């Protein structure tokens, strides 16, 4: 089987600090991940004025706007991310939360796009992304099958290649809410590659998803799960990420081809035990 594509979701866990972002990129590269992913927002387009003016205490101030702006990277930071990922020989891409952010990302030579679960019903954004024709990962947290149907219809109309990612959008997710059999349901319904975007604590659920046929695994990563941030508790630290990638590769090798073939070692045992 093809290698499972492992995505280290940095998201906003860099806390607005490019040096933290670079440490996470380096950790993902050393761990053997295939790509790192960020999130890009145009704050004033994604959130209402009333929401941005509402109270939220954070390291950057006491409003939602100050918190959101504190977490957002601009061109200088993304230029450095692009340079650093090239240096570390790891791919990067981002989920845009609005059309202006998607247009911003076009200045970089990115191979992939990503539709965040929160954006699955934003048809205008979906059309904008699908028109680019890049391989797109589509997360399905919080979504009904009918909503997924509508999103997939858009990508098929534009003949844009895609991969659906089963997802539960709770942070962190309880293990019993994983519903991994949805990997099979989605594959049968849409006839395409199905990945898994996880928000659980630990590695077992993600590894089980691989055993069930997931073609990609996305996990939020962090330097320390106790750091400030809404996604940190649903993330894995670099040491766990390294073990996760190693275990994924082990499972890939163990799954084999599905054909009944006697290995050389088993042939020798056969001669010994069956004469």
| Residue of higher predicted confidence among 263 and 53 | 53
The pLDDT of residue 51 is above 70:
yes
What number is the average pLDDT over the span 82-101?
98
pLDDT band at 111 (very low <50, low <70, confident <90, very high): very high
pLDDT in the model for residue 113: 98
Q: Looking at residue 9, what is its pLDDT?
A: 98
- What integer pLDDT is reported at residue 200 of this predicted model? 97
pLDDT range class, residue 152, cuts 50, 70, 90? very high
Rounded average pLDDT over 31-44: 98
Average pLDDT, whole number, for the chain? 97
Pick the range with the lowest mean pLDDT from 122-131, 164-173, 179-188, 262-271. 262-271
3-state helix, strand and coil shares in percent for the chain, rounded to the nearest 5: 45, 20, 35
53: CB partners within 8 A, 6+ apart: 63, 64, 65
CB 183 within 8 A of CB 125: no
In percent, the amount of the chain with pLDDT more than 70 equals: 99
Question: Residue 245: which residues within 8 A CB-CB, separation 6 or more?
Answer: 6, 31, 32, 33
Q: What's the average model confidence in pLDDT over 68-91?
A: 98
CA 116 to chain centre: 9
Segment 205-234 mean pLDDT: 97
Number of domains in the chain: 1
Structure confidence at residue 242 (pLDDT) = 98
Containing domain of residue 11, as a range?
5-274
pLDDT surpassing 60 at residue 4? yes
**Residue 238: strand, helix, or coil:** helix
pLDDT for 136: 98
Q: What percent of the chain has pLDDT over 90?
A: 97
Q: For position 275, what pLDDT does the model report? A: 74
Task: Assign residue 134 the CATH number of its domain.
Answer: 3.20.20.70
Which of 80-84, 165-169, 199-203, 254-258 comes out lowest in average pLDDT? Answer: 254-258
Q: Could you read off the pLDDT of 158-211 as tens digits, one per residue?
A: 999 999 999 999 999 999 999 999 999 999 999 999 999 999 999 999 999 999
Query: What is the pLDDT at residue 1?
Result: 44
Report the distance separating Cα 39 and Cα 68, nearest Å. 12
Please, which residues have CB within 8 angstroms of residue 14's CB and are 6 or more apart in sequence?
A: 20, 21, 24, 38, 71, 73
Mean pLDDT value across residues 250-272: 93
Residue 2 has pLDDT above 70, yes or no: no
Q: What is the pLDDT of residue 260?
A: 92
| Nearest by Cα to 114 from 146, 149, 141 | 141
């Amino acid at each position: 089987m093809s290698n499972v594509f492992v995505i280290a979701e940095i998201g906003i866990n860099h806390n607005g600090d490019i040096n933290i972002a670079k440490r996470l990129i380096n950790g993902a590269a050393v761990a053997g991940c295939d790509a790192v992913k960020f999130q890009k927002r145009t704050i004033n387009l994604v959130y209402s004025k009333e929401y941005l003016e509402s109270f939220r205490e954070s390291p950057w101030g006491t409003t939602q706007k100050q918190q959101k702006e504190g977490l957002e990277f601009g061109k200088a930071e993304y230029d450095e991310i692009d340079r650093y990922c090239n240096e570390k020989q790891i791919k990067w891409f981002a989920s845009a939360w609005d059309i202006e952010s998607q247009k911003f990302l076009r200045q970089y030579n990115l191979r992939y796009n990503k539709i965040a679960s929160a954006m699955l019903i934003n048809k205008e954004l979906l059309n904008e992304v699908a028109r680019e024709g890049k391989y797109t990962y589509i997360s399905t947290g919080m979504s009904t099958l009918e909503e997924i149907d509508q999103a997939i219809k858009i990508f098929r109309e534009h003949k844009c290649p895609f991969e659906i990612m089963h997802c539960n959008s709770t942070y962190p997710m309880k293990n019993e809410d994983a519903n991994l059999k949805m990997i099979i349901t989605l594959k049968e319904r849409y006839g395409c590659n199905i990945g898994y975007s996880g928000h659980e604590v630990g590695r077992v659920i993600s590894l089980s998803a691989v055993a069930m046929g997931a073609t990609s695994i996305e996990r939020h990563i962090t330097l320390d799960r106790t750091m400030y941030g809404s996604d940190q508790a649903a993330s894995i630290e670099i040491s766990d990420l390294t073990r996760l990638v190693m275990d994924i590769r082990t499972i890939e090798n163990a799954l084999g081809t599905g054909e009944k073939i006697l290995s050389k070692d088993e042939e020798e045992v056969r001669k010994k035990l069956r004469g």
